[in-house]
Amino acid sequence: MTQPDSAGQSRPPDMPTTSILFVCTGNICRSPTAEGVFRALAARAGLLGRIRVDSAATHDFYTGGPPDWRAILAARHRGYDIATLRARHFDVADFRRFDRIYVMDRMNLEVLSAMRPSDCSADLSLFLELAPELGQSEVPDPFGGGPDDFERVLDLVEHASAALVEKLTKER
């Protein structure tokens, strides 16, 4: 038995019903952190079996490489394992593969908006729009900073990930 997905395609009932992609510039700091944190929170909420999660970069600087060691370390200190993730470059086909694409900042939103096919139905938005109470719309890039910058990314990502889990739970 199959059921239609968001693109009207048939999929078996045990397949994920929502697909989520997190995007930043290099896919080594913010978006893999978001992928790892969201995946962990979704698993705790019992949602992981019906959600496909991935992350990507708007630029191909680090394709195939692991997350930044500082992102790995900061995530590990909070109980998240992102060490096995590998950077990949966003592909225009991702607009069809994912229902929801969350970007970390306006620059990357502009890059993806310019690439977006006119018939794309994927939701494309800033990740922090899920948590307006933060009073911040962008997850700052910690790459040129220190440990506190990576901790700040985790604070923001945890908050927005919890809001996304809550949203998906209500949609269930």
Q: Which residues are catalytic?
A: 24, 30, 141
Contacts of 132 (CB under 8 A, 6+ apart): none
Report how far residue 56's alpha carbon sits from residue 20's, in angstroms, rounded to the nearest whole number: 11
Contacts of 151 (CB under 8 A, 6+ apart): 74
Kindly provide the b/e burial profile for residues 23-42, where b requires at least 16 CB atoms within 10 angstroms of the residue's own CB: bbbbbbbbbbbbbbbbbbbb
Query: By three-state DSSP, how is residue 7 classified?
Result: coil
Residues recorded for the chain: 172
